[in-house]
Each structure stands twice: as C-alpha cells, then as structure tokens.
Amino acid sequence: MGLVFSDFEMLAYGSGLGSVGPVAQDDDGSVWKCALLFGKGDFEQLVHWGHRSYNAKSNICSSCDSDRDRTPWTDLRLTAAWRATTSCTHAQYLNRIDKQHPISKSTFFNKFFFRYDLMHCFDHHGISAVVAGSVLMKLVRDEHRLGDNQQARLDNINVQMKLFQDVQRPSSRMPTIRLADLIVNKWWEPGGTIIKAASTRKLIPFISHLTHLYFDNEGNE
C-alpha cells in the first residue's frame, strides 16, 4: 500500500513518469502532474487513513473536537460547543490524525481530504438515532395530548406512525416501537434487535412530522 502512495507522490512531483504532463500550476509556479483531490470511504476506511475513530473513548471526530462528554457530538443546538472547533489550522488538524498512514503522511494531505460517509453519519448509530430517540422520548414523557401515561402515549405514536407509513410507503418500515426499544446511551436513541439502519433512516420524515404537530408552538424545544 505504501508503494501505491509513494507512486502518487512521485506523480505529483513529476519525478515518476516522464511522459505525464502537468495537470495544474500553483500561483508560485509549482507544477502538478497528478492531483489526488480527496478520498471518500465509509467510516472504517477513514479511520484506517488516520481519522479519529468513532469508537474512541473521547474525541471521535477529526473535523472538530466533539467527544462523548465535555463537548458532546450529540448536542445538535446552534450553541453546541463543538461548532467552534470546526475551524482549525492545518497544524491543529494534523494533531487530530491518530494513526500514521502513507496518505496522511503525505506533504499534500490537508483538512479537506476526507469526504464523509453521510449514510453512516445519519443512520441508526448517528444523528438520526439521536434526533428520533430524543423526539420520541420527549413526547412519551411529557406530551399529555397523546395520552394519560407513557404506554398510552407510545401506543398513540405507533398508530400515527403506521398511518404515516401507509401513506408514505417507505422502502423500509419501522415496526411497532416498544418502550424497551427507547434506550439511553447518555442520550436517547431507538435501539435493540428490531431497530435497523434503513428503518431508522426512513423514520425521519415521521419524526419531523411529529415535531411540527407537537413542538411548533413551544418555542425552541
């Protein structure tokens, strides 16, 4: 693998293949014969390239300094502390590279190189889970228009969800949600054996619908 990347470096410097012409030129006159603009992969691949790991104990992101407790990535408010850390210098960014890999050791590597795998950012271990779990649990605990107790409120939500999905006909339906399927993992999220990535993703339009029905008149929930 290292050889492949050293070949890329040679191509970029123009020292490898004499027949390759320049593809770009910088303002200072530097000529580029190869430009590897970005690398896109699922999260596992990004971690192989040196990105902080989503399984890390503390900081989990190289694009910002979000973590699991002091600067939680699950804080999605405009005032979330991690937002201020998304802007950083090249040197700060390199400090967020955990493990050495030929691609991150390249002199051309920079903070724009990684392209994120949005499907996994948004799925059942990502932002969709936090949003869905937080909205559902808030309604189950507090929304008396839905019923007199938590089970009655969740039953009501399940009836609405079924009707919504009957109309929307998503390719993957969320089955009836039980109280036991709303779990707390520092934050609320749907979890357990019946919760799948695709059905969580397809649940988001219904979650959005619920927020308009029940939160719109309550200011910033």
User: Which residue matches tokens 């890329």?
Assistant: 8
Give the residue among 12, 16, 15 at the shortest CA–CA distance from 31.
12
- What value does the CA radius of gyration of the chain take, rounded to a whole number of Å? 23
Q: x/- contact string, 64-83, with Zn ion (CB under 5 A)?
A: x-x-----------------
Torsional sign, CA 142, 143, 145, 151: negative
User: Binding string to Zn ion for residues 8 to 47, with x set by CB under 5 A, is what?
Assistant: ----------------------------------------
Nearer to Zn ion among residue 5 and residue 93 (C-beta): 93
Helix (H, G, I), strand (E, B) or coil at 55: coil
Q: Count residues binding Zn ion (CB under 5 A).
A: 4
| Residue type present at position 91 | A
Report in angstroms the alpha-carbon separations of 171 from 125, 135, 154, 156, 174.
20, 22, 23, 23, 10
Using CB under 5 A as the binding rule, whether residue 157 contacts Zn ion is answered as no
By CB under 5 A, residue 97 contacts Zn ion:
no
Smallest distance from Zn ion to CB 61, Å: 3
Short-list 191, 189, 220, CA closest to 207:
189
Of these, 63, 106, 156, 160, which contacts Zn ion (CB under 5 A)?
Answer: 63
DSSP letter string over 137-153?
A: HHHHHH-GGG-SSHHHH
User: CB 215 → Zn ion: shortest distance, Å?
Assistant: 26
At closest approach, how far in Å is the CB of 208 from Zn ion?
23
Question: Does residue number 207 form part of the binding site for Zn ion (CB under 5 A)?
Answer: no
- Smallest separation, CB 117 to Zn ion (Å): 13
Classify residue 179 by its DSSP letter: G
- Select from 1-9, 61-69, 186-194, 204-212 the region that touches Zn ion (CB under 5 A): 61-69
Nearest to 73 by CA among 122, 136, 111: 122
| Least separation in angstroms between CB 192 and Zn ion | 27
Structure-token pair, residue 185: 């993992």
Q: Would you say 127 or 213 has its CB closer to Zn ion?
A: 127
Q: Which of 12, 47, 61, 130 binds Zn ion (CB under 5 A)?
A: 61
Structure tokens at 128: 């969709």
Binding-site ranges for Zn ion (CB under 5 A):
61, 63-64, 66
